[in-house]
Amino acid sequence: MCGLELSLDGGRVTRIRGDRDDVFSGGYLCPKGTTLGRLHDDPDRLRAPVHQPNARSAAAGAAQPVTWTEAWHLTEELLRTAIDTHGRDSVAIYLGNPNVHHLDGTLFAKPLIRGLGKPKVFSASTVDQRPKEVASGLMFGTTLSVAVPDIDRTDLVVLMGANPLESNGSLATAPDWPGRLAAVRDRGGRVVVIDPRRTKTARAADTHLAIRPGADALLLAAVVTELERTGRVDPGHAGEWTVGLDEAIASLAAFTPESVAVRSGVSPDEIRSLAAQLADAKSAVVYGRIGTTTQRFGTLASWLVDLVNLCTGNLDRAGGAMFTKAAAGAANTRGTPGVGRGVRIGRFASRVRGLGETMGELPVAALAEEIDTDGPGQIKVLITVAGNPLLSTPNSARLEAAMEHLELMISVDPYVNETTRHADIVLPPPSPIQRPHYDLAFTQLAVRNVANYSPPVMERDPDTPEEWEILARLAAFAQGLGPEADPADVDDLMITTLVGAAVADETGPVHGRDATDLLAELAPRTGPERMLDLMLRIGPYGDAFGAVTEPVPLGLDEEGRPISVPPLSLNELEAHPHGVDLGPLQPRLPEVLRTPSGRIEAAPPEIVADVRRLTALLDDGEDGSLVLVGRRDLRSNNSWMHNVEVLVKGKERCTLHIHPDDAAPLRLTNGELCVVSSRVGQLEVPVELTEDIAPGVVSLPHGWGHNQPGTRLAVANERAGVNSNLLTDEDDVEAITGTAVLSGIPVEVARA
C-alpha cells in the first residue's frame, strides 16, 4: 500500500524510493519495499516449474526444472489420477498470506476452489485475524466490516497486541505509522500501548501497560463495567442503530477492575484511569491486533474492542473507530444498504476433531490430523498457494510427519522452501514487479479512502504465465478439461457470471442493462484487471458504465467542506499513477450494516455464550510457569523474505527474549543456548536477556527454522533460526473460530 518509485536500467532495478506524490503514503517506505528489485533478481526465485519426484519419501530432494508445457501435462495427469483414485473429498487447499497481496490470488482462489469441487479449505487466516472477522461479521453483518482506528484525527489511541512500528500495522492500513502516531502526540493527543513486551511502539507511547498474555478480554470487560458503574456509557449516534447493548454490558458484570487485576497484571487504578480517559477524550479509539486474536479469548477480545468503542461513543465517529468505504470489492457496499443476510458460522465441521467452519474454511490447526488420520474423507491431495504452513502453523513437527501420508501435493510458490520441498510439482508466479497491482484487501481496511493501481513495471519472462492463469488452469484440470484447457475460458466464464450478476442485481447501479454491452466496454482487458475494472465501475464511486457522469460526492473533508471525485473506472486510476484520494473516512451508519436486523448486534449469542469461559479465567490461578509469545521485527515478513541478504544480515534476530529476573534462577546468560519445551515439542535457541519483556513471559519470532534438506534458499539457510511453531500446540485453539493459540503457550526453559 506504500507508493513506490522504481528506477530501471535495462532489465534491472537500480533504485527504489517511496513515491513522494503518492496520495496515501507520501513517500514513506519500509525496508521491505526497497528490496523488491533484489527479490526479483534472487537466483533462488523460481523462473520455471520444478518437478520433485518422490518429494515426500526419503529420496526427496531430486528437484528437476521442467518447461511449462511439461508442467501442465504432468500436473493435469497427477491431479486427475489422484481425484479419480481418492475422490474429491480427499482434496484440500491451503491459501497463504500473500494471496491477499495481489489481484490474482484474491480473485482466482475462488474459481480454483470451485473447480476442485468441495475441497477442504484452510488458510493463514486461522493463524491470524479470523476472530476479528467473525466478531465484526456477527456485529456488523460482513466479515471485512472491521472498524479501523481513525488515527489521523483521534485524540487517544489504545493499541492492544499490535506493534505497528515494526509490522506497519494490519487490519488498519496506514503507511507511516511512526509519523501518524507522532502526529497524535504533536496535536496534544495520547498513545497507550498494551503489550507484554515494551515494544518499539510502546517506547513511542505515553503509557505502556504490560498485560499478561491472553488477558485482553478481561481488561476490556472491566473497562466496560467501569464505564457502566460511573455512568459513562454513551454510544452517541451509533446507539440509534444498536440492539443488545444492555444485555452485552450485563453479561460482563463479574469483571471489575478489582476482579481482573491479578490475572491481567494491570492494576485496578490503571484500569479505572484507562476507562476514564476513554470516556473523557474528545475522540478515542481502541485498536486490537494479532496479540488479541491469536489467543484463547480472541473473539471475545475482538468483540470487546468494538464494544468499548461503542460504549464511549467512538464507533463511527471522526477520531474513533470507523468503517472504510473501499472503491472495489467490499461486501459492505453491495446489496441493500443497512440490511443483509449477516454471517453464520459452524455450518459444517472438521472430520477428526469436529472443529467448526468459519467463512467456509476449517481451522488450519486441524490440517495435520486431517492428513494423518485414516478414514473416509482423509486428505490425500494438498494444494498450497502462497503459503508456508510448515513454518507458520502450530505443531509443525506433526504436520511435517503427516506429509508422507499425502498422495499428491501441488504448490504455487516462487520458492522451494520448507513447505514446497514436499510438493510433487511447484508452479512459480511472476515476481512482484512483473505484475499489476491493486490492493483489493487492504484498501478495505485503510484509515483513509483511497484507490491506487499500478501496471507491471517489468515484462514477464517469455512464455511464463501470470499467476491467475496458473490458478485457472488448476481449476480446469480438476474439472477434467484436460491438459490443453485454456485459462482464458475460466476467465471469460468468471467475467460473464459477474456481469450477469451485476445486471440482475436490483440494488446495483447497472440493474437491467445489457450484459453484452457491458462486456464490450470491458474489452480488451482480460483477467484480474478486467474484473477490477468491473468492480470499480459498479462500486460506490464508479461510473456505472457511463450512467454516472457527475462527480461523486465523498462527504466532508477535514475542514468540513464537501468533496467529490470524478466517477471511477480502471481508466481513471491509470490516469492517476499516484493514486486517487477519496478523502477521510466518513460516518457510515446505518448504511454499512448487513445484519438481518439492520442493527449493530452488540450481543451476538455465539459470543455472549463464551463469556462464561472468561469468567472461569478469573479463578484460574497461574502455576507460575513461563508463557511464550511471538514478535515481529521490521526487516522480516513471516517466513519468506529471509532469502534477501539485506533483510537478514546483522545481529541474530531469532533469539529467546527473557527477563533477567527469570533468567537468573535458570542460570542463563546472554547469548548462550537454551532449551525451550512445550507440550508438543522442544527446540534450542540463543537467549537474549532484556527488561523489555514482562517477567513470566518469553518471546520468539516466527517464520524461522530454515536449512531444511531439499530447500533452495541459499541466504535463508545460512541464517536458519528455529521454528517457533515447533512449540505451539494444535490442540490449543480459540473456542469460537478454532484459531490457533500462538500467544501465551506454557513453556519450560532450561540451559542447553
**Interface contacts to Mo ion, rule CB under 5 A:** 128
Q: Which does 629 bind (CB under 5 to 8 A by kind): ligand MGD, Mo ion, none?
A: ligand MGD
Which 3 state secondary structure label does DSSP give 50?
strand
CB of 225 or CB of 743, closer to ligand MGD: 743
Pick the closest to residue 642 from 650, 197, 628 (CA basis). Answer: 650
CB–CB of 655/705 below 8 Å?
Answer: no
**Gap between the Cα atoms of 665 and 210, Å rounded:** 22
**Gap between the Cα atoms of 299 and 132, Å rounded:** 6
Confirm or reject binding of residue 638 to ligand MGD (CB under 6 A).
Answer: yes
Confirm or reject binding of residue 519 to ligand MGD (CB under 6 A).
Answer: no
**Gap between the Cα atoms of 752 and 677, Å rounded:** 11
Kindly indicate which of the ranges 97-105, 137-145, 323-331, 519-527 contains the residues binding ligand MGD, using the contact rule CB under 6 A. Answer: 97-105
Q: Which does 164 bind (CB under 5 to 8 A by kind): Mo ion, ligand MGD, none?
A: ligand MGD
CB of 98 or CB of 579, closer to ligand MGD: 98
Which 3 state secondary structure label does DSSP give 723?
coil
Q: Which of 24, 287, 303, 415 binds ligand MGD (CB under 6 A)?
A: 415
CB of 227 or CB of 391, closer to Mo ion: 391
Q: Which does 264 bind (CB under 5 to 8 A by kind): ligand MGD, Mo ion, none?
A: none
Confirm or reject binding of residue 743 to ligand MGD (CB under 6 A).
Answer: yes
**Gap between the Cα atoms of 412 and 90, Å rounded:** 19
Q: Which helix (H) or strand (E) holds 556?
A: strand 552-556
CB of 124 or CB of 674, closer to Mo ion: 124
DSSP assignment of 579-609: -EEEEE----TTTT---TTSSEESS-HHHHT
Q: How far is the CB of 196 from Mo ion (least distance, A)?
A: 19
Q: How far is the CB of 94 from ligand MGD (least distance, A)?
A: 7
Confirm or reject binding of residue 409 to ligand MGD (CB under 6 A).
Answer: no
Confirm or reject binding of residue 634 to ligand MGD (CB under 6 A).
Answer: yes
Q: Could you give the C-alpha distances from 27 to 4, 18, 182, 186, 638, in angstroms and in order?
A: 8, 4, 17, 20, 24
**Gap between the Cα atoms of 606 and 611, Å rounded:** 10
The DSSP symbol for 412 reads: E
CB–CB of 140/175 below 8 Å?
Answer: no
Q: Could you give the C-alpha distances from 467 to 111, 386, 460, in angstroms and in order?
A: 13, 11, 11
Q: How far is the CB of 127 from Mo ion (least distance, A)?
A: 8
CB of 163 or CB of 309, closer to ligand MGD: 163
Q: Which of 224, 510, 742, 747 binds ligand MGD (CB under 6 A)?
A: 742
Q: Which of 295, 395, 454, 708 binds ligand MGD (CB under 6 A)?
A: 295
Q: Which of 131, 291, 587, 721 binds ligand MGD (CB under 6 A)?
A: 291
Beta bridge partners of 123: 95
Q: Which of 703, 705, 721, 738 binds ligand MGD (CB under 6 A)?
A: 703
Report the site for ligand MGD in 349-408 (rule: CB under 6 A).
385-389, 392
CB–CB of 23/393 below 8 Å?
Answer: no
**Gap between the Cα atoms of 485 and 299, Å rounded:** 43
Give the residue closest to Mo ion by C-beta.
128
- No. of helices (H) and no. of strands (E), the chain: 26, 27
Report the site for ligand MGD in 449-488 (rule: CB under 6 A).
467
**Gap between the Cα atoms of 213 and 752, Å rounded:** 26
**Gap between the Cα atoms of 419 and 390, Å rounded:** 5
Q: Which of 75, 332, 378, 417 binds ligand MGD (CB under 6 A)?
A: 417
CB of 124 or CB of 221, closer to Mo ion: 124
**What is the radius of gyration, based on Cα positions, of the chain?**
25
Angle subtended by helix axes 467-478 and 527-537, to nearest 10: 100
CB of 132 or CB of 351, closer to Mo ion: 132
Confirm or reject binding of residue 724 to ligand MGD (CB under 6 A).
Answer: yes
Confirm or reject binding of residue 264 to ligand MGD (CB under 6 A).
Answer: no
Neighbours of 38 (CB within 10 A): 18
Q: Which helix (H) or strand (E) holds 670?
A: none
Q: Which of 194, 281, 603, 749 binds ligand MGD (CB under 6 A)?
A: 194
Report the site for ligand MGD in 107-166 (rule: CB under 6 A).
124, 127-128, 160-164, 166
Q: How far is the CB of 604 from Mo ion (least distance, A)?
A: 24
**Gap between the Cα atoms of 190 and 154, Å rounded:** 9
Report the site for ligand MGD in 17-76 (rule: CB under 6 A).
none
CB of 143 or CB of 170, closer to ligand MGD: 170
Q: Which of 319, 414, 487, 527 binds ligand MGD (CB under 6 A)?
A: 414
The DSSP symbol for 393 reads: S
DSSP assignment of 231-247: T----GGGGGGEESHHH
CB of 632 or CB of 659, closer to ligand MGD: 632
Instruction: Compute how many residues bind ligand MGD; rule: CB under 6 A.
Output: 62
Q: Which does 582 bind (CB under 5 to 8 A by kind): ligand MGD, Mo ion, none?
A: none
Q: Which of 270, 413, 533, 572 binds ligand MGD (CB under 6 A)?
A: 413
**Gap between the Cα atoms of 262 and 193, Å rounded:** 19
**Residues forming the site for ligand MGD (CB under 6 A):** 96-98, 102, 124, 127-128, 160-164, 166-168, 170, 194-197, 199, 211, 213-214, 216, 289-292, 295, 385-389, 392, 412-415, 417, 429, 467, 629-634, 636-640, 702-703, 724-725, 728, 742-744
